């Protein structure tokens, strides 16, 4: 599904190399987690995959189902089935949450050559999915993320994901800022979407999220590279010992 090979990325504005040869394959049906020290390049990887400006790929490739995503515009990547839940969700004043969701869903349907979803079907779906994330009707009417609490913004990201049903979901520290109950809701939202055709890349600092979203594979990123890959036990090792030993192994 998502195949990243030898990805090197630098900042466009300054000569600073951030990703220094990332190799990572997320198979359909699998949940991969990425952990790693602050500043190791985890968010940069998610930004580069989703097409944020300001980064230059100097070497390597990234494909989704064999298609080169790095050559695509951000909206083409989304239409191809890529989704990023932001670490810092943005507020969009003047755009109603419901309108935003419906426009996004229909834009993707159009890109796939499908008809628009009917207003009644959309309403039924959005109410059902919002309820499962305990997002109330009032939040659906408000402008996107404006005045939402940190946790509400994160749940709203998961609602977008649930509505768009992407093939490849990237979650960048979606658990940060969530209280224990909200984290369970988010995990439930992710688990409800888990199926054989969908892959997940979950960036997190905390093992506790992975208690609820059981990963198949855990990667450790440090200094722009994946330095270690293993099973869920790797996250427990990080929780217990931090990153010092792993960094020393590759030094
Ligand atoms: N626009 C920028 N200008 C300068 N440095 C940048 C810029 N964007 C990223 N960096 C640097 O790139 C490095 C990687 O940042 P990134 O946000 O990807 O790390 P991270 O692993 O997600 O960290 P965290 O766990 O703290 O969220 C950091 O040293 C950061 O300061």
Q: What ipTM, to 2 d.p.?
A: 0.96
pLDDT on residue 176: 85
**Residue 171 — pLDDT band, cuts 50, 70, 90?**
very high
pLDDT on residue 94: 95
Q: Please, where are the H alpha helices in the chain?
A: 42-50, 74-79, 97-111, 119-132, 137-141, 150-164, 180-193, 207-212, 233-241, 244-250
Cα of 206 vs centre of ligand 1, distance in Å, is 18
Residue 224 CA: nearest ligand 1 atom is: 14
Domain locations in the chain? 2-248
128-147 residue pLDDT tens? 999 988 888 899 999 999 99
Ligand 1 pocket test, candidate residues 9, 10, 15, 18, most atoms within 8 A of CB:
18
86-133 residue pLDDT tens? 989 999 999 999 999 999 999 989 988 899 999 999 999 999 999 988
Cβ(79)–Cβ(162) below 8 Å: no
**Residue 207 — pLDDT band, cuts 50, 70, 90?**
confident
pLDDT on residue 245: 83
CB within 8 A of 208, min separation 6: which ones? 175, 183
Cα of 172 vs centre of ligand 1, distance in Å, is 13
Q: Taking 80 as the threshold, does the pLDDT of residue 251 lie above it?
A: no
Cα–Cα distance for residue pair 195/174, rounded to 1 Å: 20
Q: Is 102 in the pocket of ligand 1 (CB under 6 A)?
A: no
pLDDT on residue 144: 96
Cα–Cα distance for residue pair 239/205, rounded to 1 Å: 9
11-66 residue pLDDT tens? 998 889 999 999 999 999 999 999 999 999 999 999 999 999 999 999 999 999 99
Cβ(40)–Cβ(9) below 8 Å: no
pLDDT on residue 97: 95
Q: Is 178 in the pocket of ligand 1 (CB under 6 A)?
A: no
**Closest residue CA from atom 25 of ligand 1:** 38
pLDDT on residue 61: 97
For the domain made up of 2-248, give the CATH fold.
Rossmann fold (3.40.50)
Cα of 250 vs centre of ligand 1, distance in Å, is 21
Q: Is 137 in the pocket of ligand 1 (CB under 6 A)?
A: no
């Amino acid at each position: 599904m998502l195949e990243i090979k030898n990805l090197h990325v630098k900042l466009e504005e300054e000569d600073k190399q951030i990703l220094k040869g990332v190799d990572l394959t997320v198979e359909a049906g699998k949940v991969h987690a990425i952990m790693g020290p602050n500043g190791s390049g985890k968010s940069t990887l998610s930004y580069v995959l989703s097409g944020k400006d300001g980064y230059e790929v100097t070497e390597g490739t990234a494909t989704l189902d064999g298609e080169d995503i790095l050559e695509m515009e951000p909206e083409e990547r989304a239409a191809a089935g890529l989704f990023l839940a932001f670490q810092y969700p943005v507020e969009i004043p003047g755009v109603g949450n419901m309108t935003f969701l419906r426009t996004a869903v229909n834009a993707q349907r159009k890109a796939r050559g499908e008809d628009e979803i009917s207003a009644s079907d959309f309403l039924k779906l959005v109410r059902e999915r919002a309820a499962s994330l305990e997002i109330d009707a009032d939040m659906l009417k408000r402008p996107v993320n404006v005045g939402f609490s940190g946790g509400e913004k994160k749940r709203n990201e998961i609602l977008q994901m649930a509505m768009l049903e992407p093939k490849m979901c990237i979650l960048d520290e979606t658990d940060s800022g969530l209280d224990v109950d909200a984290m369970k809701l988010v995990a439930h939202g992710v688990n409800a979407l888990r199926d054989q055709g969908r892959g997940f890349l979950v960036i997190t600092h905390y093992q506790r999220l992975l208690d609820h979203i059981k990963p198949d594979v855990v990667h450790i990123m440090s200094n722009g590279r994946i330095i270690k890959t293993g099973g869920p036990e790797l996250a427990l090792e990080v929780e217990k010992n931090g990153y010092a030993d792993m960094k020393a192994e590759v030094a």
